[in-house]
Structure 1
Amino acid sequence: MTVSQDNSQPPAGISEPPSTDTNPPDSSSDRPSLSTLTSTSNRIELLDKARHFLSSPQVVHQDYESKRRFLVEKGLSDGEVQQLLREMLPVVPPRMYPAPTPSNLPGLLVGTFKVLSWLAGGSTALLFIYYRFLLPRLTRSALARRSLKSHQSDLFAKLTESLDNLKEEQRVAYADLPHPYPWEEVVPWNDCKSLNDIMAVIESGDSHVPRVTLLRCALAELATQNKPSTADEVFQVLFSTGLQSLLNIDDAYQESLWKTLNDAPLFQLVEPSSQSEPPRWSYQNPEPAPQPTAPLLPSLTKLQNSVAHAASARGIQRFQHTLQALIDVTGYLTTKTYALASAMHRLPGTASVSATPIEEEEVRLEIKALKGLVLNRRTFMPAIPRPSSAPVDKAS
């Protein structure tokens, strides 16, 4: 039952209190006592019903104010309502609690065991596949790579050794040959007379300027300007022109120019007459290229003779197999011829071999062919070339 229902209707189990407007008894002497007893009995009955009402399951969980308001409306005083509410026992939860939920530990342990078993089985299968199929292939591949690397190292070692031997042989073979002149100027740089000529050649597409040409033109530029050809002036005239941007002259390039100026025999340092003046540089025209040395001509003659001898030796060895085959054929035919002749002239009484006319004719033909081969044997061999060399002009 809720409190919001019509307050005029009493809750279940509680009846309306009897009306106090009862007809008075006829006896005037008993009227006060009867009314007092009736009201007292009604009051006790009303309290019992109110107590029963408060203990009903539908009302026991209602709030305090709702219960109090309903009892006051039913004619109970505040003291009676407070006493009834105090007499009500507090709400006690039932003594039978629901059974606790079963523990998840066994299921958790079973699941963990299943997961571990699957992991162990999968790991075992993977290890088996790895050791059975993958590891042998990886091992073979690693061994093949190692052997290939070792083979390459051996080949590189042999190549290095052969290159060293080749360098040593070239050093010994080229000892008699004239060495190139390191300070020689090539075309078109040897035709440059000034820095403007160098800039023109650079603009045409050739940007590799020899250091000797650059220094020579710088000294010539200083000579035309009547300036002292000191090292500072040389570098100053190089920086004053547009060559610095064209050649990208940096510290390393300046260092190489200074080294060329000091190492090249074409540039000479002229000491000044007085100590107050700085030393000057001058350019000396190079001497003409030296003629071939004397040991070069005999070496060339010896080389020509050896080449001619090697060519003749190769020509003889070329037909050696043919000559040997002819010698073998000659021996075979000779053996057959003497065997046939000895069989025809055997003594009487011995076993003889009669030769048919066809066999005799074949033997005669083979003998004639053999004679032709032997007599014309020189046609199979070329003439041995004689080593010839052009006369050496001693004047040259």
Structure 2
Amino acid sequence: MNLELFIAKKIHFSKEGDKQVTPPAVRIAMIGIALGLAVMILSVAIVIGFKKEVRNKVIGFGSHIQITNLDSNVSYETSPIAVNEAVLTELSHTDGVNHVERFATKPGLLKTDSAFQGIVLKGVGEEYDWTFFRKNLKSGDVFTVSPKESGTSVIISKYLADRLSLKVGDGFLTYFVQESVRARKFTITGIYETGFLDYDKLFVIADIKQVQRLNGWEADQVSGLELYVDNYARLDSISEQLYFSYSEKKDRNDNTYYVRSIKELNPMIFNWLDVLDINVVVILVLMMAVAGFTMISGLLIIILERTNMIGILKALGHDNRGIRKIFLYISFFLIGKGMIWGNIIGIGLCLIQSKFQPISLDSSIYYLDAVPVDINILTWVLLNIGTLSVAMLMMLGPSFLITKIDPAKSIRFE
């Protein structure tokens, strides 16, 4: 039988003991643990959710990995690469790659009777994965790309539609400046809104054959290939593997392939997302420190209230280590109770935000229209284990006070 645990339970759970071990200062310590854990759960869930949503939007527009012409500049007026079925098959069978698609881009000027706007026409093929745009459609639907005929259907962003007073079913002219100005008429089949304004104000999705004809390219020439990986954690290793595999390969026109991951294509965005991890670490350290110090004060008060009992136990032959264990068990009960409430509050607020989104954001600044949350089970478990471990380690210091209590004096202590 564990005598220390038995005594701790009697002190903590008995009605008489409950009155003595839960004065206001101890309740405040429990509240500190609860609020600290709730804030930590919210902080981690929000940062993970924010990084995931922003990352998915960037990937939705540009895929995980792009293979382009080494001679291409940073503009959307690109130099083509020739891609045959052998290259597409080889890439699609690469370990970790689950989808390959062609794309071509062309800058232009979208014009209506009352306004105009600079855009980038992004041409996609029949193999294009529409999942991202279907998820963000506000009206209409995506179009089907024919393998033979060149279609005039497009989807545009809500930003462009509102700015130019366009709706599903409307047609518009787009002008392309090259050796001679060319115009193309397109028809809107769908309107999307991702909240990523930098891209929403730019991209119009069309049939890839439109861009190929405007540029005078042959059927196998494209701006590049977009590759999606099955595990984002392996993105860097897969990108590096493809880079070395294709760095010395050339297409039929002697153009060199250039492999880059989405991180390399958008370094500022991904560096900014990485900086957010530092903010989370600072919040976790501060919250654990606050919760730990409130529990230290609570344990000291419990020890002082039980000075008489400590003296009696010492007089009966109980050693300091055993008595310290009693109070560490009591601390464990208090910390556990605070953590239960902390989890209820933290997870509850995450679920409310996830379902009803009461806290909104300015999408022009944060790329999202509401605070995102993502409750990761593994992270949640580690957060609880870490909080409990740190809090219990911090209890070892104040419990050492028990060794300084003199039985002769403490028995007379009131």
TM-score, with length taken from structure 1: 0.16
Structure with the largest fraction of strand: 2
Higher helix share: 1
Considering only CA atoms, is the larger Rg found in Structure 1 or Structure 2?
1
The one of the two structures with greater contact order (alpha-carbon pairs below 8 A, sep at least 6) is 2
TM superposition score normalised by structure 2: 0.15
